[in-house]
Structure 1
Amino acid sequence: MKQAPDTFQVAAIQQHCSADKDTSLATTERLVRQAVADGANLVVLQELHATLYFCQTEDTSVFELAEPIPGPTTERLSALARELGIVLVGSVFERRMNGVYHNTAVVMDTDGSLAGLYRKMHIPDDPGFYEKFYFTPGDAVFNTGENGFTPINTSLGKLGVLVCWDQWYPEAARLMTLAGAELLIYPTAIGWDVTDDPQEQARQLDAWITVQRGHAVANNLPVVAPNRVGVEPDPSGQTDGIRFWGNSFICGPQGEFLARADDAGETILHARIDRQRSESVRRIWPYLRDRRIDAYQDLVKRVRD
């Protein structure tokens, strides 16, 4: 693989999704083509962009949506990446084997090859987000034999791909960083209970943005976080559904916003990434140099007694 360029343009896509997979993927393809027409070299899609967010309820029939890798969705993303000459980060409800399903991010390189995949490691189980019913936690990274928090090598550099709930864990971001990630990427599906009051909604959104900007700062890395948008009904009718809050963003290695979307519209965000800037920032904010690795052993314990 040839040396990655010093700079490239990343696009993060915030889109509405449909119950029909072909309709959702057609929207994705239209937005990816527009992003590339506007100069993108790397395009990042949101979590589970091919379907509605089905984890609002526990329903065994939903497993029919799952696909193998390679499969129809990855083949479509592969062809798109190859045609447009881009690195493309997508999302698949993966059927790994009978009874083992994953929430999986896939990375297609510029030649359409599968550069790697990341199976979501942290799986939530909260009202409206019943992901443990559907997803097995990830383990090894495709084609590497490494643990789950390992960057994926592409023609644009090493991508630290994580997924949604992973974004709340500083350990995941740090392990990706220590393994050489040059960019942290968080495809996301997060939103509000529509019955929450505005103050609570504001606190949740601010927390989501702040924790990821914190990962950027603590690791001196850019962060790309595309989120879905729009109200998706609860299939069971037991609740009023989820209003996905959008607010996709790209920030730099000091947490500075490079691009940010609103909470309602379909959006393509663009930002220029300078791979050398992290090196420059680390020279004046040397967090990695000053880590006390001799004093952190208790981090691998569930509780410090």
Structure 2
Amino acid sequence: MPNAPLSVALIQHRDAGSVEANLDATAAAVAKAAANGARLVVLAELHTGPYFCQTEDLATFDRAEAIPGPSCERLGAMARDNGVVLVGSLFERRAAGLYHNTAVVFETDGRPVGTYRKMHIPDDPGYYEKYYFTPGDTGFVPIDTSVGRLGVLVCWDQWYPEAARIMALSGAELLIYPTAIGWDPQDTPEEQARQQDAWMTVQRGHAVANNLPVIACNRTGHEPDPSGHAPGANFWGTSFVAGPQGEILARAGEAQPEILTIELDRGRTEAVRRQWPFLRDRRIDAYGPILQRYIDPT
């Protein structure tokens, strides 16, 4: 990645009610971001519809689409028309009965230049993703673009330092996380604050440990549980960008859609790694046990 500054925009998203309405809102936001100078635009997780994983419903699989497909065509046109590199997130129908949570990267001419299929799949109350998504098989491989080598991961991947590290070791120059995370409205304010703080802290840790900028683009707004059995989810927004020492460079609010724009100093990683050479000092001869599920203390 060259050392010239890079203007990045995060489109903090609220569900608009339909695929067409969501894509129209996204197109308007991308155009506005590009008009303000953005060259890289990042969208939130599963931004073409609601976060449907609150319940398990066979009919929901009808939301999935092929890649390439209609939404890819729209996103590619947004990238081309605005001259930006665009990171999107789609519910991929790979084959009958085989679906993925997939990020797609589009070049400034509208071409899809890479995909990443979400590797870590949660299965928690309100986040029943294992019902819908097959774990990814693309591995942790950065995607080369005209604005640099992008380490694209997705949401639940945020909690795993291994994923960030492998992207960094593979030459990623930015870590990017399209995200859908929020509070259970029944949690206490203290618990909600702890969860949000943990979410930001772990990603700032990835920035520090790898001396890379981290971009996390989240949803916002309340989305009801379609089954009516739970109070739904309050997505907490707070999209942010951290620098290579974990410093918060920009942060969105919690409750509203927002275009968060930041100019990244792309020479910082080199400067910080000279001062804190973590990659140099790794003891790769001693890390074999990390491949085990659990190390029995006996």
Question: How would you bin the TM-score normalised by the shorter chain?
Answer: over 0.9
Please give the secondary structure, in 2, of the residue aligned with 1:9: strand
Question: Would the aligned equivalents of 2:100 and 2:133 in 1 still touch at CA under 8 Å?
Answer: yes
CA positional deviation for 1:6: 2.8
**Counterpart residue number, 1:281:** 272
Equivalent of 2:55 in 54, 57, 61? 57
- Answering whether residue 230 of structure 2 is matched by residue 215 of structure 1, we say no
CA distance in 2, matches of 1:176, 1:107: 16
* Alpha-carbon distance change, 5 to 82 in structure 1, aligned in 2, over 3 angstroms: farther
Equivalent of 1:262 in 253, 260, 269? 253
Please give the secondary structure, in 1, of the residue aligned with 2:101: strand
Equivalent of 1:159 in 143, 150, 164? 150
* Alpha-carbon distance change, 283 to 5 in structure 1, aligned in 2, over 3 angstroms: closer
**Counterpart residue number, 1:8:** 6
Question: Would the aligned equivalents of 1:220 and 1:282 in 2 still touch at CA under 8 Å?
Answer: yes
CA positional deviation for 1:249: 0.2
Please say which of residues 131-140 and 266-275 is displaced more in the overlay: 266-275
Matches within 5 A, 1:46-85: 46-85=44-83
**Counterpart residue number, 2:88:** 90
Question: Would the aligned equivalents of 2:34 and 2:83 in 1 still touch at CA under 8 Å?
Answer: no
Letter in 1 for 2:148: G
Equivalent of 1:296 in 282, 287, 290? 287
Q: What stretches of structure 1 move > 2 A for 4+ residues in a row?
A: 3-7
CA distance in 2, matches of 1:275, 1:109: 19
TM-score when normalising by structure 2:
0.98
CA distance in 1, matches of 2:224, 2:33: 29
Please give the per-residue CA displacement for 1:197-237, whole angstroms capped at 9, x wherever unaligned.
Answer: 10000000000000000000000000000100000000000
CA positional deviation for 1:265: 1.2
Give the gaps of 5 or more residues in structure 1: 141-147
What is the aligned-residue identity percentage?
65
Please give the per-residue CA displacement for 1:1-24, whole angstroms capped at 9, x wherever unaligned.
Answer: xx7563210011102113311011
**Counterpart residue number, 1:134:** 132
Letter in 2 for 1:40: A
Question: Would the aligned equivalents of 1:194 and 1:242 in 2 still touch at CA under 8 Å?
Answer: yes
**Counterpart residue number, 1:121:** 119
Please give the per-residue CA displacement for 1:174-212, whole angstroms capped at 9, x wherever unaligned.
Answer: 000000000000000000000101000000000000000
Please give the secondary structure, in 2, of the residue aligned with 1:244: strand
CA distance in 2, matches of 1:18, 1:237: 20
**Counterpart residue number, 1:30:** 28
Give the gaps of 5 or more residues in structure 2: none
- Answering whether residue 191 of structure 2 is matched by residue 200 of structure 1, we say yes
**Counterpart residue number, 2:166:** 175
Question: Would the aligned equivalents of 1:4 and 1:155 in 2 still touch at CA under 8 Å?
Answer: no
CA distance in 2, matches of 1:209, 1:295: 29
CA distance in 2, matches of 1:70, 1:292: 41
Question: Would the aligned equivalents of 1:231 and 1:243 in 2 still touch at CA under 8 Å?
Answer: yes
Please give the secondary structure, in 2, of the residue aligned with 1:125: coil
Please give the per-residue CA displacement for 1:40-89, whole angstroms capped at 9, x wherever unaligned.
Answer: 00000000000000000000100101000110111001011111111000
**Aligned residues: CA RMSD:** 0.9
Please give the per-residue CA displacement for 1:101-133, whole angstroms capped at 9, x wherever unaligned.
Answer: 000000000111111000000000000000000
Please give the secondary structure, in 1, of the residue aligned with 2:218: coil
Please give the per-residue CA displacement for 1:23-46, whole angstroms capped at 9, x wherever unaligned.
Answer: 111111111111111110000000
CA distance in 2, matches of 1:173, 1:212: 9
Please give the secondary structure, in 1, of the residue aligned with 2:178: coil
Question: Would the aligned equivalents of 1:9 and 1:272 in 2 still touch at CA under 8 Å?
Answer: yes
CA distance in 2, matches of 1:6, 1:103: 33
CA distance in 2, matches of 1:14, 1:220: 25
Question: Would the aligned equivalents of 2:223 and 2:232 in 1 still touch at CA under 8 Å?
Answer: yes
Please give the per-residue CA displacement for 1:143-193, whole angstroms capped at 9, x wherever unaligned.
Answer: xxxxx1010000011000000000000000000000000000000000000
Equivalenced residue count is 296
Question: Would the aligned equivalents of 1:220 and 1:254 in 2 still touch at CA under 8 Å?
Answer: yes
CA distance in 1, matches of 2:225, 2:204: 31
Equivalent of 2:178 in 187, 205, 217? 187
Letter in 2 for 1:135: F
**Counterpart residue number, 1:145:** none
Question: Would the aligned equivalents of 1:5 and 1:156 in 2 still touch at CA under 8 Å?
Answer: no
